[in-house]
Structure 1
Amino acid sequence: MHIYQIRQKSSRAILWTGAALDPQSALDAMAREAGYRDFDGLPETLRAQGFETADLG
């Protein structure tokens, strides 16, 4: 497992930091923590803003 940090591209706000197997798993975990099924369950308006996923190690 790695530690990932997810930021919103436009505002650079940190949305989630935590352990995950890979970047996609990190995006899914972020979405679940926000109350959605997974990353694909986020509204398109949110996904369209873009996210940056950084592997912190």
Structure 2
Amino acid sequence: MKGLLGIIVALIAVLIVLALLKVALKLIVIGLVVVGALALYGMVRDKIGGGGAR
């Protein structure tokens, strides 16, 4: 009985870790996309606004 409980606890722990990793990965991907979009936006704005106006 005790061994079964240990296995169940281990499985739950693994599931929690996997869920946290998935969330962390999602946050990292979102962060990278936001940073990439901001960098692109900055470059495009510099090309359009900086090059043409001045």
TM-score by length of 2: 0.26
Higher relative contact order (CA 8 A, sep 6+): 1
Q: Decide which structure has the larger Cα Rg and report it.
A: 2
TM-score by length of 1: 0.25
The structure where helix makes up a greater share of residues is: 2
